[in-house]
Structure formats: C-alpha cells, structure tokens
C-alpha cells in the first residue's frame, strides 16, 4: 500500500524504460493518478503546475505504457517500468535526464534485433543473415570471436573495440535465433556470482 500521506498526498514516481532500464523521467502521483495509471496502463501524473491529472502523451501521443511497477521499502516512492512511445522529454529527447549516451544500449540493440526478426525487411542485414540459417549465424559468431582475439593481441585499441562490437552484435543475433535473451544470460551470470 502506497503512503500518500507522507508527501502531503503526492509520491515521486521514477519511470524507466522496461527493456533498457534507462531512467526516462520523474513525476508525481496522487492517489487518483495512481488509480488511473493502474486502470489504463498508461502513466498518469498529478501535474503540480497545472494542478490536475496529466497522462504523459495526452497531447504528443508519446505515451508511457506500463509494463510493471514496484513500490519502495518505505511505500512512498513508485518505480514504473514502461514502454515509451516516442521521446519522453518535451525537448524531444529520449529521456528527461540528458545523458551523453544510453549506457544500456546493448538492451536497446537486442530490442532492434528482435524487431528485425519479427518484422523483416529485405534491406536488413539481420534478415539476410537469418535467412542463411542458424549455422551461418553461429559461424559469424566464431569468426568475430577469432577476429576479436587477433585484435586484442596484435592490433590497435580501435580495432579491438570494433571487433568486440561485431562479436557482441552477432552473439545477440545468435541468442535471438535460439530464442534466448540477454536477460537469460544476465540471470545465469548472476547465479554464478553467488
């Protein structure tokens, strides 16, 4: 149960991209905004400047579709993981926190790969690779792995960065082809760490 009394009827709400975990924005909800968010599955805030409920995207169409929510240990802050439709910030930026780059771009790349699998286009490299089959995808991962080792031992830092990027990209494609995700790998690594 959320404690709305602690903050004079309002609680802070942090919104994260449900896939990349990038923090998109911070807003406030009263009890009515919270109920509307739960019912409609679109993030609705209480606007302190407009003094009314405000559904993110009601004017721009850039809604935040709720995927899950979590209440903190003191029951006075909400974390919402959402799927953004378009940019979140009124400035046109993906996030209201103007970060230099998306530190979780690997998760964004996984989303792009998944999208290319689900909605293939002829010009897509991922689609062309997928059409060649699992053996070719796995072979590309092997080739890129060898090229990464060679770059680490005998080439420049830039070469290593490029080859490692190719390796990770092709590994994400291979995981998708096998029906696996980076989340599965992360959970496995976390369990090994314990």
16-56 pLDDT, tens digit per residue, is: 999 888 899 999 999 999 999 999 999 999 999 999 999 99
How much is the pTM?
A: 0.66
Residues 9 and 66 in one domain: yes
Token couple for 33: 């905004």
Closest CA to 24 of 85, 77, 73, 107: 85
Domain count, the chain: 2
Mean pLDDT of the region 85-93 = 87
Mean pLDDT of 56-78: 94
The pLDDT assigned to 21 comes to 85
Residues 138 and 69 in one domain: no
Beta sheet of 23-29, edge-to-edge order = 23-29, 11-17, 78-84, 64-71
Answer with the one of 84, 119, 151 that is the final residue of a domain: 84
Q: What are 118-174's pLDDT values in tens digits? A: 999 999 999 999 999 999 999 999 999 999 999 999 999 999 999 999 999 999 999
Query: Is residue 100 scored above 70 in pLDDT?
Result: no
pLDDT at 171: 97
Provide the domain limits for residue 14. 5-84
95 and 25 Cβ atoms separated by less than 8 Å: yes
pLDDT of residue 36: 97
| Residue 116: CATH number of its domain | 1.10.287.1080
Residue 99 belongs to a domain: no
Looking at the fold, whether 110 and 80 belong to one and the same domain comes out as no
């Amino acid at each position: 149960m959320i404690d709305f009394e602690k903050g004079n009827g309002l609680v802070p709400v942090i919104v994260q991209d449900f896939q990349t975990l990038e923090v998109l924005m911070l807003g406030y909800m009263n009890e009515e905004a919270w109920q509307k968010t739960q019912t409609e599955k679109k993030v609705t805030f209480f606007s302190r400047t407009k003094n009314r409920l405000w559904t993110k995207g009601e004017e721009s169409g850039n809604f935040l579709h709720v995927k899950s929510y979590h209440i903190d240990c003191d029951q006075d802050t909400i974390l919402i993981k959402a799927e953004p439709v378009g940019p979140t910030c009124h400035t046109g930026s993906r996030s209201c926190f103007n970060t230099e780059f998306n530190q979780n771009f690997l998760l964004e790349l996984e989303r792009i790969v998944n999208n290319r699998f689900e909605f293939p286009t002829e010009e897509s490299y991922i689609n062309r690779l997928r059409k060649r089959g699992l053996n070719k995808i796995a072979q590309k991962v092997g080739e890129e792995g060898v090229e990464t080792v060679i770059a680490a031992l005998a080439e420049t830092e830039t070469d290593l960065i490029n080859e490692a990027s190719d390796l990770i990209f092709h590994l994400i494609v291979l995981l998708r082809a096998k029906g696996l995700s980076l989340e599965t790998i992360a959970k496995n690594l976390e369990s090994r760490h314990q």
